[in-house]
Amino acid sequence: MGLPVSGLIAVAAGVVALVGTLVILNAATEDVTRHNGLSSTDPARLRWFIDHRPHALVTTARYISQIGSPVALALLVSVAAVVLWLVAATPPGFRPCAPSDVTDPSTSMTPCNAPWT
């Protein structure tokens, strides 16, 4: 294959990780389909975690979940569209002027509307 030894080791490690993952997936799938093994104790463990989780964690998770809501994403897209439209509508050499800008007598241009240098 033309791979150096380190490359062959990396490929071998990837194959071992893939096979291990498939074995674990197969075991979990078998437990779920036959309703034995891990899936038989899942409801009790789930109930324990629900009973022992902090209220602040649940509240925080709900607020974070709202960031991905359709309304929040629509607002984000609208703001991004307006910002991008304003950037695209701005002339190439435009710079906003500050009140302290003075006119350069040699060019009759203020520093804020002079071309970018």
Q: How far apart are CA 25 and CA 20, in angstroms?
A: 9
Same domain? For 16 and 40 the reply is yes
In a domain, 48, yes or no: yes
Q: How far is CA 76 from CA 65, 70, 116, in A?
A: 15, 10, 31
State how many domains the chain has: 2
Same domain? For 46 and 78 the reply is no
Same domain? For 64 and 47 the reply is no
Same domain? For 45 and 15 the reply is yes
**Is pLDDT above 70 for 115?**
no
Same domain? For 13 and 44 the reply is yes
In a domain, 19, yes or no: yes
Enclosing domain of residue 44:
8-52
In a domain, 36, yes or no: yes
In a domain, 23, yes or no: yes
In a domain, 90, yes or no: no
Same domain? For 22 and 42 the reply is yes
Same domain? For 81 and 47 the reply is no
Please, which residues have CB within 8 angstroms of residue 32's CB and are 6 or more apart in sequence? 39
15-27 tens-digit pLDDT: 999 999 999 999 9
35-68 tens-digit pLDDT: 887 777 788 888 999 999 999 999 999 999 988 8
What's the chain's length in residues? 117
Same domain? For 27 and 39 the reply is yes
Q: Which residue has the higher pLDDT, 101 or 2?
A: 2
Q: Which residue has the higher pLDDT, 88 or 10?
A: 10
74-95 tens-digit pLDDT: 999 999 999 998 888 777 666 6
Q: What is the pLDDT, as a whole number, of residue 48?
A: 92
